[in-house]
Amino acid sequence: MSTIEKSIEVNVPEYTAYAQWMKFEEFPQFMEGVKEVTRLDGKRFHWKAEIAGQDKEWETEITDQAADRHLAWTSRGGVIKGWTMTFHTLSSAKSKIVLQVEYDPQAVVEHGGEALDMVSQRVQGDLERFKALIEKRWRPAGRETIFDNFPM
């Protein structure tokens, strides 16, 4: 196996980024080519996507998870064999996401050398779209907001 690593800083706390990333069904909103992700059970998901002009389907399974910090899953079939996400606190309202994508070098060769570059570019683009999505949705709630309507 070989690995591609990409990272991005987002202007939300790590627990907010993690919670959004756990909404697999919303992946089509920021992942290029992903048409649908369906939860099969607590750990398994069925994916439908268009890759290099072809419709593809596969399953993933969560293999490791630590709330707000870490998520890993494996994939059956195709070039990509697994993903590992880590979420790091930079400040109370900023975090860093590191994504490692494991791929099968032989499958890359079989699909042509451009497959590796395509995967790398897609991963970076997906992270940038995720950043835009999560930062648009997240609004910090200060202490004054929480207590505005609380009867004293």
Instruction: Give residue-wise pLDDT tens across range 84-140.
Output: 999 999 999 999 999 999 887 666 555 555 666 777 888 999 999 999 999 998 876
Do the domain assignments include residue 124?
Answer: yes
Can you tell me the distance from the alpha carbon of 152 to that of 139, in angstroms, rounded to the nearest whole number?
Answer: 25
Q: 150 by DSSP, 3-state: which?
A: coil
Give how many domains the chain has, as a whole number: 1
Residue 124's identity, in one-letter code, is Q
Domain range for 66 is 2-139
Structure tokens that stand for 84 in this block = 């590992």
**Is 26 domain-assigned?**
yes
Residue 93 has what DSSP assignment?
T
**What CATH number should be reported for the domain holding residue 99?**
3.30.530.20
